[in-house]
Homo-oligomer: A and B are copies of this chain.
Amino acid sequence: MSARLLDGQALAARMQQEIRPQVAEFTRRRGRPPGLAIVLVGQDPASEVYVGHKLKAGTEIGFRADLNRLPETATLDETLALVQRLNREEVYDGILVQSPLPKSMGAGAGITVFDAIDPSKDVDGLTAVNVGKLVQNRAALISCTPAGIIELLERERIPIAGQRAVVIGRSDIVGKPMALLLLQRDATVTICHSKTPNLAEVCREADILVAAVGRAAMVTTDFVKPGAVVIDVGVNRVSDRPTVELLYPKGHRRRAVFEKNGSLLVGDVHPAVAELASALTPVPGGVGPLTITMLMMNTLRAAHARVAR
- Point out the residues of chain B lying under 8 angstroms from A162, CB to CB: 195-197
Which residues 179-238 of A have a CB within 8 angstroms of B? 179-180, 183, 186, 188-193, 195-197, 202, 205
CB–CB B138/A133 < 8 A: no
CB–CB A188/B188 < 8 A: no
Chain B: minimal CB distance from A194 (Å): 9
Which stretch of A9-17, A78-86, A122-130, A276-284 is in the interface?
A122-130
- Point out the residues of chain B lying under 8 angstroms from A183, CB to CB: 170, 176, 191, 193
CB–CB A135/B135 < 8 A: yes
CB–CB B128/A176 < 8 A: no
Proximity bits, A99-135, B CB within 8 Å = 1, else 0: 0000000000001000000000000000111111111
Chain B: minimal CB distance from A118 (Å): 14
Which of B129, B135, B188, B192 is within 8 Å of A192, CB to CB? Answer: B188
Copies of this protein in the complex: 2
- Point out the residues of chain B lying under 8 angstroms from A130, CB to CB: 128, 132
Per the bound structure, the CA–CA distance linking A56 and B189 in Å amounts to 39
Interface check A305, CB cutoff 8 A: no
- Point out the residues of chain B lying under 8 angstroms from A48, CB to CB: none
Interface check A172, CB cutoff 8 A: yes
Proximity bits, A128-156, B CB within 8 Å = 1, else 0: 11111111101000000000000000000
Per the bound structure, the CA–CA distance linking A138 and B193 in Å amounts to 19
Interface check A161, CB cutoff 8 A: yes
CB–CB A190/B193 < 8 A: no
CB–CB A189/B190 < 8 A: yes
Which of B129, B195, B196, B202 is within 8 Å of A132, CB to CB? Answer: B129
CB–CB B132/A135 < 8 A: yes
The residue in chain B whose Cβ has the minimal distance to the Cβ of A176 is B135
CB–CB A172/B135 < 8 A: yes
- Point out the residues of chain B lying under 8 angstroms from A161, CB to CB: 195
CB–CB A191/B189 < 8 A: yes
**A interface residues with partner B (beta carbon < 8 Å):** 111, 127-136, 138, 161-162, 164, 170, 172, 176, 179-180, 183, 186, 188-193, 195-197, 202, 205
A-B contact pairs, 15 of them (CB 8 A): A111-B136, A128-B129, A128-B132, A128-B136, A130-B132, A131-B131, A132-B133, A132-B135, A134-B135, A135-B176, A170-B183, A179-B191, A188-B191, A188-B192, A188-B197
Q: A111-B136, A190-B191 are in contact. List 5 more A-B contacts (CB 8 A).
A: A129-B132, A131-B131, A132-B135, A136-B172, A162-B196
Nearest 6 A-B pairs (CB), nearest first?
Answer: A128-B132, A132-B132, A131-B132, A186-B195, A190-B190, A188-B196
